[in-house]
Amino acid sequence: MSCHAMPFGTHLRDDGKVTFKLWAPGVGKVELSLQGNAPELRLTMTPEADGWYGITTELAGIGFYYQYLIDGKHYVSDPASRYQPEDVHGPSQVIDPENWQWQDREWKGRPWEEAVFYELHVGTFSEEGTFRGVKKRLDYLVDLGVTAIQLMAVADFPGQRNWGYDGVLPFAPDSRYGTPDDLKDLIDAAHAKGLMVFNDVVYSHFGPEGNYLHLYAPAFFTKRFDTPWGDAVDFSHHWVRWFFIHNALYWLEEYHFDGLRFDAIHAIFDDSSPNILEELSEAVRLGPGYDRPVYLVLENDNNTARYLRYDPTLPYRYFDAQWNDDLHHVLHVLLTGEDTGYYQDYKQQPLRHLGRCLTEGFAYQGELSSYQDSKQRGESCTDLPLTAFISFLQNHDQVGNRALGERISSLCSQEAVRAATAVLLLTPSLPLLFMGQEWACSQPFTYFVDLPEDLGEQVNLGRLQAFSKFSEFNNAESLLKIPLPNALQTYRAAKLAWDELGRKPHRQWFNFHRELLRLRKSQIIPRIKGVSAGHAYYLLFNDRALTVQWLLNDNSTLTLVANLGKNPARLHCACEGRELFASDKDTRKNLHQGRMDPWAVIFCLQEAGK
């Protein structure tokens, strides 16, 4: 299927006419403003039941620009626009979703356990900053060993640069990155090379610039819940729910995405039953996910394990996996020693938290969080497969929400990063790399936007005020070092420095990641399907050394022994079986002698019955 039928937006009819539909329950009159190759033509839209306005006309066609005129005063873009060639305040364009001739008919996706994610920002991944720029690097990603591209949000945002989470037109790929066909071409090419492609969708809020829904559909929002972005989206309303459900189906059907990542679902408020997440998942599972693999991934600070669990009354699981912030946070504490902010929850017994992440998934499964005012956080997840958790050392948030956007490779020793990388890439949970991580890219990645001057200055000031509360930025001189989000240079500095790949030590880092991923492909991936917490355990030897064992699905045993500290460790344990990876040639010998060097890691695989 190459076109998703929606109850709103535009529909090209077989007779050549175009139907336009808008939900505008808060207004008295809506006109369609056609802005094609002639002076503006206004057509009054017909009021319909439940706040809808519609019109079918032969005066519009493919390529026509259009807007809606609300009560004769305000021109607005179509909230279901498929393309905005002149950005969020400009007219929408009628396009033919059937125009692209897909070549991926033989593509059947990949098994979930094969997923190795690579998160990238389209605007900074390549010098071009476009979908075509990403396409040029697909062979590189295949050679590296990743199998799934995770695009940061691409829905239309205001201005020429943005992380993507200030989007306001969720059906339109941002024109800065290319046309809808350019995105389809990227996905088509990725599938031809065996790569899955995931889209990041944001359903908790709209950005601060270019969202006109309050103007003509105030029922879209509610004051019942407090959010960092103002009034919450009102998911209790039928048509609001279906706006987002259709958005998910649209990306999967019209663009052939293999899956979606749902941003910050802990900030989605809905006390309906079923709630929006459950209803959306059902629509996907019984729709595009019925006859091909479609994967749904969560970001959820609440660690709500029930969304990842099979319901015996349903033929499917709501969501396939969640980004595991717990694992990132505890590794960050171990590697850097930082223990402020949300890291404070992991500074006591960090290795115990790590052991729990590696064997069960979440570190917090109902325990009290000091960072969250001693509230309970999380649910038990010991019955879930370990492939329900996506692990990472870096992602856009954990790098970009730092004041200076430093990557982990600039915050601790190379030995520490090597050890943590081995743990990330060779343990059963699914790994994610953030663009440039694989060669220890030196470029920072900080938050950037392109907003009108007044709003941009508010964002700049808000960021400086937030970081002024930290001891290292409590004076004017240190605050001046923080890149301003609305500055063009902040965006330019975040572009990947691809020329580093040809120089030491960056090439060595790339080779290290590639070899670990080849090892994962041959030795780990074939054995991890269905592996759960009930088949794993860990032991601590001191505050920095531990061993972990997993019983894999072929009854082989994977063993990790690690010293994740800067001092030598005394410990007495064995690492039986074939050595898969060791920090250096002496690691196993030292282990037999009861000691491990700082930041030493060894993995062994013992076949069943041996």
- Give the integer Cα–Cα distance in Å for 191 and 107: 6
Q: Which residues contact 329 (CB under 8 A, 6 or more apart)?
A: 342, 343, 345, 346, 363
- Give the integer Cα–Cα distance in Å for 525 and 573: 26
Tokens describing residue 483: 């890149």
442, burial (CB in 10 Å: exposed 0-12, middle 13-18, buried 19+): middle
CB 31 within 8 A of CB 44: yes
- Give the integer Cα–Cα distance in Å for 402 and 406: 7
Please give the full DSSP string across 558-602, using - where no structure is assigned: EEEEEE-SSS-EE------SEEEEESSTTHHHHHHTTEE-TTEEE
> For this structure, is 299 an active site residue?
yes
| Active-site residue, selected from the candidate residues 182, 263, 279, 450 | 263
In this structure, which long-range contacts are made by residues 329-333, counting pairs with CB atoms below 8 Å and at least 24 apart in sequence?
Answer: 329/363, 330/354, 330/357, 330/363, 331/393, 331/420, 331/423, 331/424, 332/393, 332/398, 332/408
SS3 344: helix
| Active-site residue, selected from the candidate residues 299, 360, 438, 450 | 299
Cα–Cα–Cα angle for 542, 548, 552, rounded to 5 degrees: 175
Cα–Cα–Cα angle for 449, 454, 456, rounded to 5 degrees: 15
Tokens describing residue 451: 């907003």
CB 425 within 8 A of CB 516: yes
| Maximum separation of any 2 CA atoms in the chain, in Å | 85
Query: E strands of 179-240, at which residues?
Result: 196-201, 221-227, 230-233
Q: Which residues contact 293 (CB under 8 A, 6 or more apart)?
A: 108, 109, 110, 111, 112, 258
Catalytic residues: 263, 299
